[in-house]
Amino acid sequence: MTVISVDDFRGLARRRLPRFLFEYIDGGSFREVTLGRNITDLAGLSLRQKVLRDVSTADLSTSLFGARLDMPVVLGPVGLAGLAARRGEVQALRAATAAGVPFCLSTVSACSLAEVRAGASQPFWFQLYMMRDRGFMRDLLAQATEAGCSALVFTVDMPVPGTRYRDRRSGLAGAPGLSGDLRRFWQAAMRPAWALDVGLLGRPHGLGNVAPLLGRGTGLEDFFAWMRDNFDPGVTWKDLDWVRSQWAGPLVIKGVLDEDDARAVAAMGAEGLVVSNHGGRQLDGAPSPVRALPDIVQAVGDQLTILADGGVRSGLDVIKLMALGAKGVLLGRAWAFALGARGEAGVAQMLTLIADEMRVAMALVGATRLDQLNDAVLFRDRIGRDS
C-alpha cells in the first residue's frame, strides 16, 4: 500500500495490530463526541490564502525549553504504544532523533526509562501522572533525572481513567482472568506478523516504569484496574508544588482547557502547558483544543510556552494550531499508527510527511517562518461554524 497520509498509517495499523491494541490507540471515551470534535474543529478552521509572495524557502525550525527543533512537533506520550512494534518506544525515539524533534516517554510505556535511555543518542522528555505512592514518584523522577530527560510533562487531566467503551468491547478492559486472556490471545493469533514480531520476539511485555507497583498477577489484563488503584484522585494544586520541588528541569503541565487553570499553572512556576483533552479519552463533551487554545494564549501566552495536541493528522493541522498561538504541537495517534504500521521506518516517514505538508501549507498562506503564523492567516469568524 502506498502511504500518502497519516490516515493511511491508521488503515495499515488496523490491519496489523490485534483488535484490543488498535481500539485502545484509536478510541476515546463514552460516545467519542470529543474525539470527533478534535478532528472536525480543526477541519473547520479556515486559513487565509495569500498569493504572489516569495515563498521559495520555508524554515520550520524553532526551539522549545532551550533545545533546537527541526520542526515544531513532539512525539507526545502514548501509553502502551511500545506494544505496537517490537520495543516500540525505542524505535519511535530513534525516528524522532533522526527528524530533529523530541520524543516523550509515557509513564505507562512498554519500555522502561532505562531501556529507552540505552537506545537514546539525545535527551528525551518524560511524562508522569500523580500516583498515591509519592515515594515511588520520587524514585521515578530520580530515574528521569539520571536518564538525562530534558523536560517533564506532568499530566493533570486523569485523576481517574475515562470510561472507554471500545476497550471493554475488545476485551482489554473489564475482562480479567482466563476469559480476557483467551479473547486477547485469539485477536493476536489473527495478526500473525504482530504475534511473531511483538508477541513472541518482543518479550518481556509489561509496563516497564511501573513494574514495581504492579504486584504479582497484575499486568496488561488488569491495566485499567491498576490505574484506578494507583492514580491519585485527591491531587490538588498543592501537590504540583511538590512535583516542582522534585524536578529541576522544565516542567510542562498537560491537560489544561480552562484559562483560570492556565493562570494557576503560571502561578505555580511551570515553564509550559499543553492545551489538551487527552485525545478525547477522558471527559466526553469537553471542548477541543481549537476552541480552548485562543483564550489560554490570551491569558498566559506571555508567561508560559504553550503547546497543544488533539486531532492532529497532518502538517496542515500543525499550521492551524500554530496560527492559534501554540509554540509547538504534540503528536499522539499519528505516531502510534505509524509505529504500528511500519515500526521505526513508519514513524520516520510520518514525520517527513508532516514536514512536507507544513511547507506546502505555509507557502499557500504566504509564510516562510513559523513566527509569521498568527491570527493574520486565519478567518477567525469561521472557527467551528460547522461543528
pLDDT digits (tens, 9 = 90+) for 194-220: 999 998 988 877 777 877 766 554 456
Per-residue pLDDT at 222 exceeds 90: no
CB–CB of 71/322 below 8 Å? no
The answer to whether 197 is annotated as binding is no
More confident residue, 280 or 229: 280
The answer to whether 205 is annotated as binding is no
Structural domains of the chain, ranges and CATH numbers in brackets: 6-382 (3.20.20.70)
- The pLDDT tens digits for 135-159 are 999 999 999 999 999 999 999 999 8
The answer to whether 3 is annotated as binding is no
The answer to whether 281 is annotated as binding is yes
Q: Which three cell numbers stand for residue 75?
A: 512525539
- The pLDDT tens digits for 15-35 are 999 999 999 999 999 999 999
Q: Which residue has the cell 483564550?
A: 295
The answer to whether 310 is annotated as binding is yes
Reported confidence tier of residue 176, pLDDT bands at 50, 70, 90: low
- The pLDDT tens digits for 334-379 are 999 999 999 999 999 999 999 999 999 999 999 999 999 999 999 8
> What angle, rounded to 10 degrees, do the helices at 19-26 and 6-16 form?
150
Angle at 74 between CA 69 and CA 80, to 5 degrees: 150
The answer to whether 309 is annotated as binding is yes
Query: Rounded to two decimals, what is the model's pTM?
Result: 0.94
The answer to whether 165 is annotated as binding is no
Q: How far is residue 140 CA from its own chain's centroid? A: 20
- The pLDDT tens digits for 72-126 are 999 999 999 999 999 999 999 999 999 999 999 999 999 999 999 999 999 999 9
Work out the mean pLDDT of the chain and round it to a whole number: 92
C-alpha to C-alpha distance for 76 and 312, rounded to whole angstroms: 12
Per-residue pLDDT at 240 exceeds 70: yes
Q: What is the pLDDT of residue 380?
A: 66
The answer to whether 56 is annotated as binding is no
Q: What is the pLDDT of residue 228?
A: 76
Q: Which helix (H) or strand (E) holds 260?
A: helix 259-267
According to DSSP, the β-strands at 378-379 and 73-75 are: unpaired
The answer to whether 238 is annotated as binding is no
Residues assigned a catalytic role? 278
Other beta carbons within 10 Å of 80: 21
C-alpha to C-alpha distance for 66 and 307, rounded to whole angstroms: 15
User: DSSP secondary structure string, 234-265?
Assistant: T--HHHHHHHHHH--S-EEEEEE--HHHHHHH
Reported confidence tier of residue 172, pLDDT bands at 50, 70, 90: confident
Per-residue pLDDT at 381 exceeds 80: no
